[in-house]
Amino acid sequence: MFLWFFISMAAHKVALVTGGGSGIGKAIALRLAQNGAKVAIASRNLARVERAAEEFRNRGLAALALPIDVTQKTDVERVITTIVSQWGALHILVNNAGISGLSMIDDPDDSKWFDIVETNLNGLFLVTKAVLRHMPEQAGGRVINISSVLGKFGVPGYTAYCTTKHGMIGFTRALALEVVGRGITVNTICPGWVDTEMATLGIKETAVLQGMTPEEFKAQAIAAVPIQRFLEANEVAELVAYIASDAASGSTGQAINLCGGQTIVPSVSTHRIKNIIVSAHTIIVRNPATLETVAELPVAQATDVAAAVGRARVAQAAWQTTSFTERAGLLYRLRDLLLDEGDRLADLLTAETGRPRAEVYGNELFYLCDAIGSWAKRSADYLQPEKIRPHFPLLKTKKVVSAYAPRGVIGIISAWNFPLTITLGEALPALMAGNSVVIKPSELTPLSAIFGADIALRAGFPENLVQVVVGYGATGDALVDHADMIAFTGSVETGKQVMRRAADRLIPVSLELGGKDPMVVLKDADLDRAVGACVWGALMNCGQICTSIERVYVEAPIYEQFVDKVVKRVRAIRQGQSRDEVDVGSMTSEAQLKKVAAQVDEAVANGAKALTGGRRNPSLAGYYYEPTVLVDVNHSMAVMSEETFGPVIPIIKVDDVDEALRLANDSRYGLSGSIFSRDKAAAWRLADGLQCGSVSINDSLVSFIVADAPMGGCKDSGFGYRHGAEGIRKFCQQKTVVIDRFGLKEEFPWYPATEKKAKQIRHLLNLLCHSGLSHKWRALRGLMRS
C-alpha cells in the first residue's frame, strides 16, 4: 500500500515512451498509463503505436499515438510540440527506441555501424534535449533510458550495439549531474534476456549462427541465467514505474541491472561460437530463390583458422586411439540425427541453395545415409594392415606389413552446389581414418556445414574434432597454410591455386574439379530411358553438378526423335520455389546465372538454336534460368568446351561411334560420362575409350552416389578419389613396417665391406636373377668356391 501510494503519483503527469509500439516499450507505456499518466507512444511503426493507443483508450487510459524517427531533429521537435500543445508539459521520458544487428569493426560496409549509432545514441541525445526544454523544474522530472546488460560486457560481432548501450550509461551519468539542480533524475535500466518479439527474432538469428534450433539456443540462453528463465516485459515496466515515481527521487545517475542475475555469473567474451570461428567481416547468406536474407555470419581471419587447427590437432591426438567400432557407432548416431531432423535439414538447404525439397531428400539425404553406412561398415577393412610377401628369396627372412596411419588435421574446402553432401562426404572417411577436420564451406552456402558440425557434436563426436571456419578465399588460404592435408572441391582455377599454395608446405591435396561430362546415345539405345536420364542428369540441381550431363552426342538415325522427346520433356519441367511442387529450383548465385546466360547467348549468336528456354525466367524473382535445349552447336562454342554448370542441354548429331568418341574426348575435362546402348559389349568398348574417371552405362549421375566405388577425374578435372578404399586411404599416411623373423646376430651385407663379400653378392645375384642357365651354374660354382 505504501509503495503503491508513491507509484500512483504518476497521476496527472505526462510521459513519452519512444519505441513504445510493442515489447518492453509497450509494457512500460501501459504501466505508466495504469498509474494515471497521460502517455504519448511514439515509434517509426505508426500502425503499431496506433493499435497500442487504441487498446489503452479502450481500457479508459489516456494515450496518444505519434510517428517518430528519433534520428531526425525536425521529427523529434514535431512530436514534442504536439505533446506539449495537447497536454501542457512533459514530466517523464522513457528512451526505449533502439536497433541492433551484427556489425564487425572491420566490416568494409560502415552503414550498419552508423545506423545503430545514429538511432541508439544520436536519437537518445536529440529526444532528451528536446524534452528537457519542456520538463518543469522541481516537478519530479524523470529521464529513464533503456540500455542493456550488453552495455556492461561485450559480445563478438555486436560492437556497434554494445558501444551504444555502454555510451547510454555514460550519457546517463553525465546528464544526471547536469540536471540534478533542476530536480530531474536520469537513470538507466539494463535488462538481460526479456521474452519479447525482438528477443525471439534474435534467438532465431543466433540459432542459425550456431547451427542450432531456436529451441536449443533458447534453452542454452536460459541455462546461463541464474533464475533459469527470461524476464517478462512487465517486470521491466514495474521497475520503470518505480523510477518514474516520486519515491525514486533519491536515485539518479544509476545503471540498474535487471537480468535475473546474469551479470554476476563469470562471463568470457570469445570469438568462437561452438564449432564456428568468428571474426572481422561478415557474409550475408541469401535465399537464391527469393533473394531474402537468410543469415549474416562473421568471417574467420587467419588467426582464427590457426587456432581452430590447433584445437583440432589436440582433439585428433585422442581420437586416433579410438577403435573403428567406436567411430562407426558415432556415424550411425549421426545418421539417426540426420533422419530425425530431415525436415529441418531440407528447410536449411532449400533456403541457401534454392533447390526443391524433393531433391534434398532424394539426393543429399539419400547419399549421406548410404555413405555413412558404407564407411561405418567398410572402413576397418579398407584400412586393415596388409601383409606383404617379398618376392626376392633373400628377403623371405623378413615379415613386411603395410599399415595406414591418420594424417592429422584434414582441411576440407568445399563447393556450394552440394554443400552438405560434398562436405560430409569428405569428412566422414577422414574421421573414420582417425583424423580431425576443419571445414571451410563456400561463402554462398555455409549454413549446412555449420549444421553438419553441430549435429556431429550432438551425435557424440568429441569437441573440436569437427570445426567450421566461415569466410572467403583468404580463409581457405589460411587453412591450406596450417592443415596437414587439403581435400578441395571446386573450380579448376581455384584448385590450381590451392595446389600451388600446398606445394610450399609439401602437403598432399585431393582435387575434385570441374567437368564437362559427355553423354553418348547410340542408335540401338532404349530411347525413352535415354531421354529421361538425359533430362534428369542435365537439369538436377539446375545443372549445378560437376557430373552433370553437359554435352550430348546422338547417332544420326535417332537424332530427330531424341531431340523431340527431350524438348517435350524439358517443356514439362516445373520451375519455382522449393515450397511449391516443382522439379527444378533456382541457380545458387547471380554470377553463375550470368555465366550460363553468356554461354547460351554466345552460342545462339553463332548459329545455335534454343528449342526451349534460353533466357532468365521472367516470371520468377530469384536466380532462375529456364531449362534450355540447344541444337546446331559445335565445339568452337563455350557452351561445348567450358563448364556450364547450369540447366542447359546442348545436343550434337554424330555419324557413328567413332565420331562420338572423338568429340566426347575433345575436352580438357575428364570427370565422368554416360553411354546408352542395348549392346553391352559395344558400350563397354566405348567406356574403355572415354577419357574420364567414371562411366555410367544406361544411367546418369549414378557414379557419384555409389559410395563403395572410387570416383575421381583426370585431365583438368583433378586427381584423387572420393569413395571406396581410395576415398579413405587418401586421408592416411601409408606406413611400412619390416620385421626380422629369425633374430640372426649379423646380416650378410653389414659391415665390414670386403672384396670377398662383394664377389659373393655378385654370384648370388646371378644365381637368383639371371635368366641364363649357364650364368646360374657359374654363379653357383663361384659361391661354393668362395
Task: List phi, psi (to 5°) of 472.
Answer: -100, -155
Res 266: pLDDT: 36
pLDDT-based confidence at residue 150 (cuts at 50, 70, 90): confident
pLDDT surpassing 80 at residue 275: no
Average pLDDT over residues 622-631: 98
Task: List phi, psi (to 5°) of 67.
Answer: -80, 140
> What percent of the chain is helix, strand and coil (3-state, nearest 5)?
50, 20, 35
Task: Tell whether 464 is covered by a domain.
Answer: yes
> CA–CA separation, 580 vs 356, rounded Å?
8
Other Cβ atoms less than 10 A from the Cβ of 318: the count is: 11
> CA–CA separation, 401 vs 687, rounded Å?
36
- Give the least confident one: 175-189, 348-362, 501-515: 348-362
> CA–CA separation, 480 vs 499, rounded Å?
9
348 and 199: one domain?
no
Residues with Cβ within 8 Å of 588's Cβ and at least 6 positions away in sequence, in order, are 288, 353, 354, 416, 417, 444, 445, 542, 544, 623
pLDDT-based confidence at residue 276 (cuts at 50, 70, 90): very low
pLDDT surpassing 80 at residue 49: yes
> CA–CA separation, 489 vs 476, rounded Å?
12
Task: Tell whether 737 is covered by a domain.
Answer: no
Residues 653, 551 contacting (CB under 8 angstroms): no
Res 272: pLDDT: 38
> CA–CA separation, 746 vs 756, rounded Å?
17
pLDDT surpassing 90 at residue 393: no
The angle, 0 to 180 degrees and rounded to 10, between the axes of the packed helices 324-340 and 447-459 is 120
> CA–CA separation, 755 vs 308, rounded Å?
59
Three-class secondary structure of residue 733 per DSSP = strand
**Enclosing domain of residue 139:** 2-194+232-259
Shortest CA distance to 184 belongs to which of 404, 360, 356, 13?
A: 13
Which positions are annotated as active-site residues? Answer: 512, 546
Other Cβ atoms less than 10 A from the Cβ of 86: the count is: 11
Element (H, E) at 649: strand 648-654
Res 208: pLDDT: 63
> CA–CA separation, 180 vs 218, rounded Å?
41
568 and 663: one domain?
yes
Mean pLDDT, all residues of the chain: 91
Task: Point out the domain boundary residue: 461, 490, 511.
Answer: 511
> CA–CA separation, 710 vs 723, rounded Å?
5
Residues with Cβ within 8 Å of 533's Cβ and at least 6 positions away in sequence, in order, are 519, 674, 676, 698, 699, 700
Res 201: pLDDT: 75
Give the cell for residue 66. Answer: 505519434
> CA–CA separation, 775 vs 767, rounded Å?
7
The number of distinct structural domains making up the chain is 5
pLDDT-based confidence at residue 282 (cuts at 50, 70, 90): confident
> CA–CA separation, 407 vs 401, rounded Å?
18
- Give the least confident one: 46-60, 198-212, 532-546, 686-700: 198-212
Alpha carbons within 13 angstroms on the beta-carbon side of residue 557 total: 7
Give the cell for residue 510. Answer: 585431393
> CA–CA separation, 724 vs 195, rounded Å?
51
Res 261: pLDDT: 81
Cis bond before residue 749 (omega within 30° of 0):
no
Residues 629, 570 contacting (CB under 8 angstroms): yes
Give residue-wise pLDDT tens across range 470-511.
Answer: 999 999 999 999 999 999 999 999 999 999 999 999 999 999
Res 205: pLDDT: 67
Res 269: pLDDT: 28
695 and 775: one domain?
no
Burial of 500 (0-12, 13-18, 19+ CB in 10 A): exposed
Reduced 3-state DSSP string for 166-226: HHHHHHHHHHHHHHHHHCCEEEEEEECCECCHHHHHHHHHHHHHHCCCHHHHHHHHHHCCC
Give 264's DSSP letter: G
411 and 556: one domain?
no
Greatest mean pLDDT among 178-182, 437-441, 575-579 lies in: 437-441
Residues with Cβ within 8 Å of 446's Cβ and at least 6 positions away in sequence, in order, are 283, 285, 297, 352, 419, 468, 470
Other Cβ atoms less than 10 A from the Cβ of 122: the count is: 16
Q: Give 740's strand partners.
A: 398
The domain that contains 61 carries what CATH number? Answer: 3.40.50.720
DSSP per position, 516-549: -EEEEE-TTS-HHHHHHHHHHHHHGGGG--TT-E
226 and 249: one domain?
no
Residues 665, 637 contacting (CB under 8 angstroms): no
Other Cβ atoms less than 10 A from the Cβ of 228: the count is: 10
467 and 603: one domain?
no
pLDDT surpassing 50 at residue 708: yes
463 and 597: one domain?
no
> CA–CA separation, 574 vs 581, rounded Å?
8
Q: In the chain, what percentage of residues exceed pLDDT 70?
A: 94
Residues with Cβ within 8 Å of 54's Cβ and at least 6 positions away in sequence, in order, are 65
At 709, which amino acid appears? A
pLDDT surpassing 50 at residue 257: yes
Average pLDDT over residues 694-702: 95
Greatest mean pLDDT among 108-117, 216-225, 371-380 lies in: 371-380
226 and 242: one domain?
no
- Give the least confident one: 120-134, 354-368, 629-643, 724-738: 354-368
- Give the least confident one: 23-27, 357-361, 456-460: 357-361
480 and 623: one domain?
no
| Strand-strand pairing, 276-277 and 272-273 | antiparallel
> CA–CA separation, 422 vs 336, rounded Å?
19
Residues with Cβ within 8 Å of 433's Cβ and at least 6 positions away in sequence, in order, are 379, 383, 404, 406, 407, 728, 729, 731, 732
Task: Tell whether 727 is covered by a domain.
Answer: no
Task: Tell whether 237 is covered by a domain.
Answer: yes
Task: Point out the domain boundary residue: 697, 716, 735.
Answer: 716
Chain centroid to Cα 57, Å, comes to 49
Task: Tell whether 732 is covered by a domain.
Answer: no
Residues with Cβ within 8 Å of 265's Cβ and at least 6 positions away in sequence, in order, are 224, 226
188 and 112: one domain?
yes
pLDDT-based confidence at residue 105 (cuts at 50, 70, 90): confident
pLDDT-based confidence at residue 294 (cuts at 50, 70, 90): confident
Other Cβ atoms less than 10 A from the Cβ of 244: the count is: 30
Task: Tell whether 294 is covered by a domain.
Answer: yes
Shortest CA distance to 353 belongs to which of 124, 689, 548, 592?
A: 592
> CA–CA separation, 455 vs 468, rounded Å?
12
Task: Tell whether 768 is covered by a domain.
Answer: yes
Residues with Cβ within 8 Å of 471's Cβ and at least 6 positions away in sequence, in order, are 283, 299, 300, 301, 440, 443
> CA–CA separation, 501 vs 496, rounded Å?
9
Res 211: pLDDT: 56
> CA–CA separation, 17 vs 79, rounded Å?
11
Task: Tell whether 288 is covered by a domain.
Answer: yes
Res 10: pLDDT: 54
pLDDT surpassing 60 at residue 78: yes
161 and 189: one domain?
yes
Give residue-wise pLDDT tens across range 136-147.
Answer: 988 889 999 999
pLDDT-based confidence at residue 397 (cuts at 50, 70, 90): confident
- Give the least confident one: 16-25, 54-63, 133-142: 133-142
Residues 100, 158 contacting (CB under 8 angstroms): yes
- Give the least confident one: 204-208, 516-520, 717-721: 204-208
Average pLDDT over residues 180-205: 88
pLDDT surpassing 70 at residue 353: yes
> CA–CA separation, 214 vs 708, rounded Å?
37
Average pLDDT over residues 402-420: 97
Alpha helices in 18-122 (DSSP H): 23-34, 46-58, 73-87, 111-117
54 and 159: one domain?
yes
pLDDT surpassing 90 at residue 24: yes
Strands (E), 57-174: 63-67, 92-95, 142-146
Radius of gyration of the chain (CA): 35
Q: In the chain, what percentage of residues exceed pLDDT 90?
A: 76
